[in-house]
Structure 1
Amino acid sequence: MTVRRPPTLAAAAVCAAVLLLGGCTAAADDKDTHRPSPPTGVTAQAGSATSVHVMWQPATDDRAVTAYDVFESGARVKSLPGGRTMVDIDRLTPSTAYRFTVRARDAAGNLSAPSATAPVTTPAPTPDDRTAPSRPTALRARADGGRAATLTWGRATDDQGVTAYDVYQEDSRVHSVSGTQTTARLTGLRPGTVYTFTVRARDAAENSSPDSNAVDLTTAPAPGAGPVTAPTDLKATAGKGRVTLTWTPPRTGGGPVREHQLYLNGKFATTIVWGAEPPAGTAAYTFTVTDRPGTRYSVKLRAKLPDGTWGDFSAQRTVVVAAR
């Protein structure tokens, strides 16, 4: 004997909606059962005797990837938001082999198949090493279309050996490669955007070098995109208790730029407004600083466009407060 149960409230609502179409059927199950694709391009780079830097390319999903799980020899060691594609794994054992994989996860909890395995061996410890590597030299950057770039640089030196090179975009690390490499390919960039990159060398004791020279790069604009709206040629000079900026405002085609926003260390600091007619060519602005000599500032600008919106940010510059 077959027992027919009444439909649930959700199913009943669907039945009511389809009654005029000639009958009632069970509600379609819209639960997400589609698994994300496995992350690709997984690499594991020993940053020190006790840490490994794991990176990968984004996975895809029919809805959205919401998280990544990082595994070492099958055991989960990290979980990250879906917007992150790199992580440092700390508290490892020196001179030890590890095997890392990454799996993508969506909002329904569907887990991708494991990525390819990335093996790595941590170096021997150097507890008495307090000498940082020399700075990498001659950093250059080339845009590869609108969403990728390739960086190259000259080798750094270290008394114990360079184990990694870390790539920074402004003040955030965005990539790491082995200490034997002097090139890095960056993906996931935005078209028509100004980026500023530096590179630091790192040894097994986690000593990091000073920054390399900074290099600016503008990715190719998207098809049909408007003109570049970022200020260009930004220069920052530190004097005694002050910092002077010079730059070229963007050409908007809709009249002069009368306002700029100044950001210090990634945070909004002030709006620069010309009460009279703004400069036709190079603009300049000087502001006072009260921090002790040696304090480091990162500065960047963006312009208010004639339509009232704010344009793209300029390249970032770093300046150190001079002695009074």
Structure 2
Amino acid sequence: MDPVEPGLACGSDTAHLSLLGYDPRVYYRGRGAFESMGAGLAMAPGDIAFKDESTGIIVSRRADRHFEEEGPILCAVLDGMKLPSFPGYEVRVRYATEHRCGVVKGPKLSEEAKNTAAVINELSKEITRILVSHPINAKRTAEGKNIANVVLLRGCGIRIEVPAFEIKHGLAPCMAIDDAGHDKAIKLKVLGLEAVDQAIGQLARILWEAERSGQYQYFLCVTGDHSTPVEYGDHSFEPVPFALCRLRDFIGAIGEDNVMSFPLDDFPLPSVKSGEDVTENIDVAEHKSDQRKAFCGNSVCEFSEIAAARGCLGRFPRSEMMGIIKKFIKAKND
């Protein structure tokens, strides 16, 4: 499936909108609002938000991807900061994930305005002034690490109004992330895929227990928002695999005993040690294609780009995805 259209290497924001049934050419208004609202910052009309310039040269767009301890501290210092030349403006900063934060400003700002540009320029300078003097950066300097001395104000966006996904489709969504591909971290990507396998195994067991009790009939759909090859280190334009089936058919293929014996214990998110080479290949258990039986009249029994290309759905644009899912559910329920 092409997440937006053939040949387009899309961002996660536009891809997510597209996959979930919202045309990005109609609804997209910048990444910043997604990051900020996802971090818990409320946005009102007149606010603008940034995903994460200064007049200097950017050495690295992230001081450290693993910023879970220091990031919230620095964001808290910046939250509520004042702008000397613009005392009427409020600045809110909230830590999001890894090296990212959300910045919200208001009131009466727009994405294209001379006054807004002046406010943002002063904001950048004040952010840098506060950060360079913080003890965390003194400590990072002593340890030979990059300092976090600027917030890259990018992905400017405003809050969008769209019909809720549950109302639009009558379904509930779930997603994941693609950092390992960006970092060209082969080892971390493999560990990440193994973690996804664990999550799907746990989900299948929980849903099957519910379905056996007669609550609902469940369906599984697995896909991606875009491709991020480790050799390339960025989003690329290849189509992504798409798989859809009834839960009961999945259980039949995997084996009920295997699914019900799957542990439901918490498991850690994949990580690597500091200084560890994440670009090296690691040994992966050989996969035998005859271990699983295909079903639903299909010949595909594994989830990959090449395998999915042989599937009965062929290649289709994202605009058809939700329709395919809902028609499949309806056909199996009738």
Comparing both chains, which one has the higher relative contact order based on Cα–Cα distances under 8 Å and sequence gaps of 6 or more? Answer: 2
Give the number of the structure whose alpha-carbon radius of gyration is greater: 1
| TM-score of Structure 1 vs Structure 2, range by shorter chain | under 0.3
Q: TM-score, normalised by structure 1?
A: 0.25
TM-score (norm 2): 0.25
Higher strand share: 1
